Amino acid sequence: MKKLIIPFTLLATPAVAAPSGPFFSLYNTNLIVLIAFVLFVGILIWAKVPGRITGMLDKRAHDIHSELEEARALREEAKALLASYERKQQEVSEQSARIIAQARQEATLAAERAKEVLQVTIARRMQAAEDQIAAAEAGAVKEVREKSIAVAVEAAREVLARQMTPETGASLIDRSIEQVGQKMH
């Protein structure tokens, strides 16, 4: 490995790389490289390469600028669209709040109406029940009266049948006939 390092170090030293002899000689590599470089730059200038490169760079800069402008326009459009959607969302939120408030109000009114209808229905049913109770009461009173009349008539018949003798019966019939005769005349 030491053998390889030594020759490379000799090549890199300025004494080895420096030309020996006059500068304007074809054996001078520095002059040949300089001529080649000048010819290369001359060909590039004659072929208008710097103008083309400048034109390409200008075109690329113009394309980048137009893309940036387009991106800005898209950004502004996106901002406007976002603002529009935020307004719509706010309007929808407000509308839903109004709908909820209206639904609550309608529910409250419906509950009040149902309460009133229920009270009216309860009052009608109470009245119907009271009427049925009164009718049942009147029927019971009538039945009790009829029974009591029947019992009283039966008791009076029995009492009269025990107390009645043929003479008393004849005198009662005569008296009744006289009363009817007086009232008729």
Q: 């004659």: which residue's tokens?
A: 46
Sorted by where each begins, the domain ranges of the chain are 21-164
Per the model's pLDDT, the better-predicted residue between 60 and 2 turns out to be: 60
Stated pTM of the model: 0.39
pLDDT in tens, 39-66: 999 998 999 888 899 999 999 999 999 9
Q: 């893309």: which residue's tokens?
A: 67
User: Residue range 31-46: average pLDDT?
Assistant: 93
Report the alpha-carbon distance of residue 17 to residue 24 in Å, rounded.
17
Report the alpha-carbon distance of residue 160 to residue 166 in Å, rounded.
12
pLDDT attached to residue 21: 63
**At 180, is the pLDDT very low, low, confident or very high (cuts 50, 70, 90)?**
confident
Distance of alpha carbon 46 from the chain centroid:
74
